[in-house]
Structure formats: structure tokens, C-alpha cells
Structure 1
Amino acid sequence: MSRINCERCLRPQNHCLCPLIPSLASRTRIVLLQHPSEVRHALNTARLAALGLRNAELRVGEVFDDLPELIATPGYRVAVLFPAEQAQVLEPYSNGQDSRPWLLVVPDGTWRKARKLLHLNPLLAELPRVSLATVQPSRYRLRKAPEPGALSTLEAVVQALNVLEAPEVFDGLLKPFDALIEGQIAAMGSETYTRNHVR
């Protein structure tokens, strides 16, 4: 017998996260491009970001033919939130000369799949990159980060918004994420979690 999932958060109905998902306004526009393999992932943090932010949009695919229309938003500076040697470090809006808000395109997938999205979408690869000056440690305690400073998509979005829109704080977006992690730890049992994940 298959489990019935919530149509909004895609979680099993008895583990629905919707009551924990906020509805936050932001100056920054977030466009999440999700690799199809992430849609049914247990965490699916890009979906949590899209549901929790009013000025966000989630698209699923590998090739985004409508990308020019997606990023053609008057009044915004456009960049990809993804590490690169030439990436511009994000600063609070209050610090800068340019008062226009950012439209941040955020590829969602494993590092390999996120890079594939950049490769398959030449316009995406041509956009400037932005990154965080300081990365707070990930709250995803269930697996070792593939690279130093690696974050889930949701964590990266929250940290970017916390920098850009300070003193506003977007940590409320992490409530459903934390609940997911705690639920997975509870499901595996504290002994198994301690043995396999706590150093």
C-alpha cells in the first residue's frame, strides 16, 4: 500500500511539514533550478525554499529553454549563487552603491548535477557568479559534506538572504529542514545515529 503524500510539501501526510513552513517576503528574487533527480529526495530543500519565500520560483528540469524569460526581471541584478574563483562576494544592500536587488539563480542538485545544469544551459554558465564571504556550518548532520563549506540549497539561500537583507533574518525557513533532520535521526534511533554520525 503506497503512502499518501501532501501535495504541497510532498512529504507523507503523517509527516507533513506545511505547518512549519513560513511565508516570508524578500527584496531578493530567488529562482531555483532543480535537477529532476532531486524532486523525490527525502529533503528536497529547494522546494522548502520555494514554499517559504513569496518572491521565489522553483523549476524542475535539465535544460531550461525559458531561462531568458525567467531572468528578464526589470530592476534586478542577475547572478548565479554558486562558488567560482571569480565570484563576487555578496554584501548587504545597505553597503552598496547599486540599490537594485538581486535575482539569484540557484542550481539545485548534487555538486556534479548542479555543474551539469550550468553546462547544459549556456546562458546560465555565462551569468556572473556570487558567493558567500563566510559560510556557516551546515545543519545537515546526517552525511559528511562533499566539499568544505558545502550547504544544502535551502541553507545557501538562507545564508545569502541573511547577508543581503540584514538586519532581516530568514532562519525561519530552516524550521522544516531541522524537523526533517530530527525526524530522520529519530527514525534511525539515537544509538545508530551516535555510532554512525557523531564523532
Structure 2
Amino acid sequence: MRIHAFHHLYHQRLARSTKPFAARGSKVVRCRYCQVAEKDCLCAYQPDIDSDVAVMLLLSDNEVFKPSNTGRLILDVVKNGYAYQWSRTEPSAEMLSVLNDTKYQPIVVFPEEYVADSSRLIEPNVAALCEDKTPLLIFLDGSWREARRMFNKSPYLDSLPVMSISPDSVSQYMMRRSDNEQHLATAEVASLVFGALDEQQLSHTLATWFAVFRESYMNSKTRNRPDETRPALNHFINQIRNEKFL
């Protein structure tokens, strides 16, 4: 298992916490990395693929503690990844350094209808923009209200280009409900973005890994009857096995 930036942030926040984070499902004994019930731990199946993109997660205050968070799944798949606690007034110096690193072209992922300055919007084909730089895709990870606040209250993001995607399917995210069915989970958004960037293996792997996480997470809910056959996980294992023989 590869321990990545989200895991480091989670354990840093946990060490600083003065009281436990109480949320739905908090009584479930969970793996501290994949956040599903220990009996269904997914860490041994974490994907291992290479890609030509980098990812930065900016997380709202308590998002890192929520077991239903899907941003961590992106960093399970993308090896070149960063995760930082969002702050309007005290942004991480390390985060600012990454944003200013000349090897990257930072791009904020956000719906175009909420971008006041349309000149910031770029086409899904970002090759011309990036030239010889690695795309650094920035995902604002939190509730929809929190994500909008992060977008509007982050001066260090104001000058960056914005990439928008238009979902053409209803969200499969069942762990938390949204009033708008088109509000996708962070991992679902990332999968669509990777597909638009022609990172097809990355997109498909994240989509199937998201399905595995959703299946295992829902199995831990006490009101659900768990499916011990775990079809999504078995499909994922067979997919990885078949790719190795290609």
C-alpha cells in the first residue's frame, strides 16, 4: 500500500484534535487509511498505475475526517498528489510553493456557471496551455457550499485558469445526499476530468475504484444488508489481473 498526502494530512489533523470527530458511522471500527470497516479493508487492493497529471486537494475544515470522503480515492490512483487543509487567511506555505513550481500548470476544476470571469475558462484540451508542464489539477473537496466558499475566498487561486466539466449522468454517490443530483462526488468529477484530458486508464481505474469504495462503505452501514460477495471488488480485481496480462 502506498501512503499518500491525504493519509499524512489525516494523521496530522488527528494528532492535533482535542476531541474525536463524531459523524454518522463513527461507531464503525474503520481502517485509518481506506476508512471502510476493518473487516472490509481495501488497502491491499490500492491501484498502482502511472499517469502524466498531478493533483492537489484543498479540503474544507472537517472533510479530512469524514469516512465518506472520496477525495482520498483520487490520490489512491494519482501518484503525484498533494493534500492541504484549506484556509482563507493562512494558506500553507508548502501549498503556495507547489502552486508556484514552474514544472506545473495549476488548473482549478470548478463548474463554469459559477465562474464570474469567463476569461479564466479553458477548453478540456489543455495541451496548448500546459506545453511542457505537468497539469496540476486542483479539486476543492468539501460540501457544495464549502467548495463555493473556497473558490470565492482563495486569493491565491484567483489568477489560475479554470476547467469545467458537464456531467451527463446522475451521480452514483450514495454516502451523502445532495439536493442537486448533478453535484457529483469529488472522485466522480476527477474521473470525468481525467477522461477529458485523454488519461483514459486513469479515468477508468478511478471510476471502478470509486465503485469498490462505495460498495464497501455501504456494507458498513447498519441499516443495510451487506453483500458479502462484493461484486464491485471482484470486478476490479479481475480488471487489474487482465491488464497485467495485456
Q: Do both share a fold (TM > 0.5)?
A: yes
1:116-155 equivalences in 2 (<5 Å): 116-133=149-166, 135-141=168-174, 145-147=178-180, 149-155=182-188
CA displacement, residues 27-83 of structure 1 (integer Å, 9 cap, x when unaligned): 111101111221222321111211221011122233423232121222332221011
Stretches of structure 1 lacking an aligned partner (at least 5 in a row) = 191-199
Q: Does 1:65 align with 2:100?
A: no
CA displacement, residues 89-144 of structure 1 (integer Å, 9 cap, x when unaligned): 31274xx4753432111110111111222233211233221112554442224565
Q: CA deviation at 1:24?
A: 2.6
Q: Secondary structure at the match of 1:116?
A: helix
4+ residue runs over 6 A deviation: none
Q: Secondary structure at the match of 1:126?
A: coil
Stretches of structure 2 lacking an aligned partner (at least 5 in a row) = 1-26, 226-246
Greater relative contact order (Cα 8 A, min sep 6): structure 1 or 2? 1
Aligned CA-pair RMSD: 2.7
The letter for the 2-side match of 1:156 is V
Q: CA deviation at 1:16?
A: 1.6
| Paired position in structure 2 for 1:197 | none
Count of paired positions? 187
| Paired position in structure 1 for 2:122 | 88
Percent same amino acid at aligned positions?
A: 24
Q: Is the 8 A contact 1:80 1:104 kept in 2?
A: yes
| Paired position in structure 2 for 1:10 | 35
- What TM-score, normalized by structure 2, do the two folds share? 0.64
| Paired position in structure 2 for 1:174 | 207
Equivalent of 1:159 in 179, 192, 204 = 192
Q: Is the 8 A contact 1:28 1:104 kept in 2?
A: yes
| Paired position in structure 2 for 1:76 | 104
The letter for the 2-side match of 1:58 is A
Q: Does 1:23 align with 2:41?
A: no
Cα separation, 2, equivalents of 1:180 and 1:89: 31
1:180-199 equivalences in 2 (<5 Å): 180-183=213-216, 185-186=218-219, 187=221, 188-189=223-224
Q: CA deviation at 1:167?
A: 4.6
Cα separation, 1, equivalents of 2:45 and 2:206: 8
Q: Is the 8 A contact 1:35 1:113 kept in 2?
A: yes
Q: Is the 8 A contact 2:55 2:82 kept in 1?
A: yes
